[in-house]
A = this chain, B = another copy of it.
């Protein structure tokens, strides 16, 4: 995964990942009304409109970005119909040669993690493998330790898949546990060391591992320290834009080649049209402009 991701970052000259995290409030009225008219005010209608919304955003940005990151919760909220839309979105993104990072943040004991690992391992039914979820990489939660990670490792070794494991999240209350100090260092440093070790044997040709870390953009100093602490770990960085962080905050997350991090923006891109008055019909065009602005903003601080 990681080599493919880096190659796409180089080709597109852009370390931006678009967070495909739609909410009903983000859907332009004309699209909402069309779908409600056809399918009623139902989860099915929402699933359909989310897919149409995502598809158009992908059409308007796939040539500019290396990857998308759908947040599964936004779809799970609408039950089966929502999750169908999640999978359809992934299929379409892959058709457009985008890498897909499924933001699922699962984490559980071994036998359960093994079941969740179907997201990247596929599902074995009597010897036949079904690729039902189709993500290239997923995010995971480390609270349960290596148990929660191990079943995913096979796909990272043998199927060119990858992981991004929560280390230092972008939200304020993440501090409640992650910033507790143990023997002079914070918990997130312990998590960082675990993630580094788990990924040690999976380093690709650019010096980065298939096992990455989630490191929030909103904690500049901690992010820079983590960059030094785990030099072979690629970062997935949430928190840029709508959550308040700027390109300057994260310049230290990259190496001298401009590699080392992929920066997520969700609302800031997919709901960009909302900040521009009456641009409902142009929502995807507005998202393209937001992608270009973000790319250029990041390229001011990194060399790619």
Contacts and interface: CB of A to CB of B under 8 A. Distances in A.
A123 B43 contact: yes
Interface stretch (A108-116, A221-229, A251-259, A295-303): A108-116
A304 to B, nearest CB: 28
B173 A132 contact: no
Contacts of A125: 24, 41-43, 45-46
Contact of A190 (B42, B173, B180, B190): B180
A78 B45 CA distance: 24
Given A73-B112, A76-B115, A110-B171, A130 B43 contact: yes
A115 B106 CA distance: 15
Contact of A187 (B115, B141, B187): B187
A126 B41 contact: yes
Q: Which of A106, A107, A144, A173 has most B Cβ within 10 Å? A: A144
A128 B41 contact: yes
Nearest to A216: B109
Question: Which 4 A-B residue pairings sit nearest by Cβ, starting from the closest?
Answer: A145-B173, A79-B132, A145-B176, A73-B115
Q: Which of A73, A87, A116, A170 has most B Cβ within 10 Å? A: A73
28 contacts: A41-B126, A41-B128, A42-B130, A45-B125, A71-B108, A71-B115, A73-B112, A74-B115, A76-B116, A76-B119, A77-B123, A78-B132, A79-B123, A79-B132, A80-B80, A80-B87, A103-B112, A105-B107, A105-B141, A142-B143, A142-B176, A143-B177, A144-B171, A144-B173, A145-B173, A177-B187, A177-B190, A181-B182
